[in-house]
Structure 1
Amino acid sequence: MPLYLIKRMISMLYVLIGVTIIVFLMIHLIPGDTAQTLLGGEATKASLDALRHKMGLDQPLIIQYFIWIKQVITGNLGYSYSLHINISHLLFPRFLNTLVLTIASLLLSILIGVGLGFFSGLKKNTVIDKILSALSVFGASMPVFWIALMLMWLFAIQLRLLPVSGMYNLRGNGGFADLLMHLILPTIATSLVSIAVISQMTRNVVSDVVNKDYINYYQSFGLSHYQLNMKHILRNSLPPVINIIGLQVGYILGGALFSEIVFNWPGVGLAIYTAINSKDYPMIQAGVLFIALSFVLVNFVVDILNIVVNPKLRDSNK
């Protein structure tokens, strides 16, 4: 197990290096002059040269990369030339807001997705199973931004049951209850597709485990349905389900970006969207890096959970 962790951390380090290179090149290989874009068409040559020097754009690309990496390691993500603020001071609080939305969406996806999929897998080929499978296919085919707009139109505009924008009511006390009310629609919009995917995957795994010989063996001992379902069927179904949940975290993070834009949720996604509109390249670069690093770290945690849950993997990685 310790050896596996060391190998996994080394491979994760390679992935992180690759992520930083891709994120860096993604911005620096955009056609056009960054300094000219930031200062506008009427900027003087002197002001352009001064900004290029300040941003390090007059250095070779490889030198720019290592300067940027050094800054990132020390927590300095650069300076936003559209908002005139240190990016770290803006993005870290925004990332916490995105984390709130992501965790809420993930919990909802796990609770409903695994629950419906487990029930559907136990009732394979029944009417209930077919209805739930059809709903899963329908849910998985809907884009997040469309779901968000439909939820906003129905519950916020037509029924006026839930708030339409932000994290808190500006005229309220900003308490936990207010946050929960604002969290409902973005969470549903972000998690609906993942609920469908997790549900369908769980259903397939559970229906396969139910037909295993060892389940029939345990059944012959007269175990209760609860013991058989929870202790043997669900436990043996968890490893592949955990894998798909880990992959869905990345999708949920991506979906959260769309939900943040639609519902004006003050997270990293809204910050990236604002930066794109204002052509604030350092902010775009830092925001994308945040999302990419989060996805890599989540996959690492999922691998560790798989080792903990699955004894076979634990034994093979001793």
Structure 2
Amino acid sequence: MTKYILMRSFQVLPVLLGVTFLVFLSLYLLPGDVTLNLLGLAANEDSIARLRAELGLDRPFSVQFGIWLGRALQGDLGVSHVMRTPVTAVVLEKTGNSLILMGAGLAITVVGAALLGPLSAVRKDRATDHTVKTLTFLLASMPAYWLGLVLIVAFSITLPWLPASGMYDFITPGGLPDLTAHLFLPALTTAATSLAIVTRVTRAAMVEALARSHVTAARSRGVRGFRLLYGHGVRAILPTFVNICGLQIGYLFGSSIFTEVIFSWPGIGQQLYTSIIARDGPMVQGCVLAVALVFVLGNLLADILIRWLDVHRD
């Protein structure tokens, strides 16, 4: 098991290196000049040249990337061109906020799929099954930006029950209850597509599992209800469930950009969006690296759990 974990961990490094290289190259080839955004269109050539030299933008691509990579390996992601603050500090803060949102979205996905998937499979081709399939189809068809706006109109404007933006109330922050109230709508929006995907995969795997010989034998011995469903069916599909949920970790974290922009959630997605608009290369690179790191670590965790389940399966 230890050898497998080490091998999979080393496989993460080329992925992160490839992602950072492609993003750095894309920013380098992007038309325009960040110095014009910082100095304004009225800036003269001398001031532009001085700023480009100060930021290191006058060097060849290979030199720029080599310097950035060397510092990144030491935990230094550079200084934001726009905010003039260390990128590492900003990325860590924003990543923490996004992890809170992702964790809530993942919890909704796991709990919802664990309930709806098996229920739909047991009631195959009945009203409950059709209802679950229709619900998941609708959730999968709703873009996050559209669903978020609908939820804001419904539960923040028409029915003023929940806040529409931010992470806390700026005037009277209320700790965990206040965070929960601000978190509910963004988490629900973020989890919608993942919930639909995991529920459908879980249902399909459960239908197949319930048709297996050992489940039929258990049913013939008088095993019924909850014990049959979760003791035999769910146990058989657990690796599939863990795998698909692990894949959603990176998806939830990466796709949160739409949710964070709509709900003004101060996370890595919103920071990435504003940094792209401002052409803030170091900040964009740091945000993308954080998203890629969470994505590959989520997949790594899922693979380790699946391997553990396989090793300890009776």
Q: Deviations over 1:168-219 (max 9, x none)?
A: 1112133110110111110111111111111111100000000011111223
Residues 98-137 of structure 1: pairs in structure 2 closer than 5 A: 98-137=98-137
Question: Larger deviation: 48-57 or 290-299?
Answer: 48-57
SS in 2 for 1:85: coil
**Which residue is 1:274 aligned to?**
274
Partner of 2:193: 193
Deviation at 1:273, TM superposition (A): 1.9
Q: Which moved more, 1:298-307 or 1:241-250?
A: 241-250
Of the structure 1 ranges 148-157 and 86-95, higher mean CA displacement relative to structure 2 is found in 86-95
Paired residues for 1:143-292 under 5 Å:
143-292=143-292
Shift of 1:224: 4.3
CA drift at 1:260:
0.8
Instruction: Tell whether 2:23 aligns with 1:23.
Output: yes
Report the 3-state secondary structure (helix = DSSP H, G, I; strand = E; otherwise coil) of the residue aligned with 1:310. Answer: helix
Q: Deviations over 1:125-147 (max 9, x none)?
A: 11210111111111101100100
Range that drifts further, 115-124 or 224-233: 224-233
1:61-100 to structure 2, matched below 5 A, reads 61-100=61-100
Structure 2 counterpart of 1:11: 11
Aligned-pair distance for 1:55? 2.3
Q: Which 10-residue stretch deviates more, 156-165 or 247-256?
A: 247-256
SS of 2:174's partner is coil
Contact 2:139 2:193 (C-alpha < 8 Å) held by counterparts = yes
Task: Report the counterpart of residue 302 of structure 1 in structure 2.
Answer: 302
Shift in Å at residue 246 of structure 1?
1.8
Q: Deviations over 1:19-65 (max 9, x none)?
A: 12112112112123333443333323333232222222222212211
What is the number of residues matched between the two proteins?
314
Structure 1 CA distance for aligned equivalents of residues 60 and 17 of structure 2:
19
* Preserved contact between residue 23 and residue 289 of structure 1 (Cα < 8 Å): no
Alignment-mate amino acid for residue 138 of structure 2: F
SS in structure 2 of the partner of residue 58 of structure 1: coil
Structure 1 residues 253 and 152: CA distance shift in structure 2, 3 A: same
Q: In 2, Cα distance between the equivalents of 1:39 and 1:293? A: 33
Q: Is the 8 A contact 2:16 2:289 kept in 1?
A: no
1:136·1:196 contact (CA, 8 Å) conserved in 2?
yes
**1:122 offset after TM fit, Å?**
1.4
Amino acid at match of 2:118: F
Contact 1:272/1:283 (8 A) holds in 2 = yes
Q: Is the 8 A contact 2:34 2:280 kept in 1?
A: no
Alignment-mate amino acid for residue 124 of structure 2: K
Counterparts in 2 of 1:86 and 1:52: CA distance versus 1, 3 Å: same
**One-letter code of the match for 2:68?**
W
Identity within the alignment, %: 37
CA distance in 2, matches of 1:24, 1:191: 30
- Give the aligned residue type for 1:125: D
Secondary structure at the aligned position of 2:160 is classed as coil
Partner AA of 1:41 in structure 2: L
Normalising by structure 2, we get a TM-score of 0.94
SS for the counterpart of 1:84 is: coil
Q: How far does the alpha carbon of each residue in 1:241-267 deviate from its partner, in whole angstroms, 9 at most, with x for none?
A: 222212222221233211111111111
8 Å CA contact 1:110–1:195 kept in 2: the answer is yes
Counterpart code for 2:188: I
Question: What amino acid maps onto 2:22 in structure 1?
Answer: I
Once residues 92 and 32 of structure 1 are traced to their aligned partners in structure 2, the CA distance between those partners, rounded to angstroms, is 29
TM-score by length of 1: 0.93
Is the Cα contact below 8 Å between 2:36 and 2:48 reproduced in 1? Answer: yes
- Say which is worse superposed, 10-19 or 143-152, in terms of deviation: 10-19
Q: Is the 8 A contact 1:113 1:199 kept in 2?
A: yes
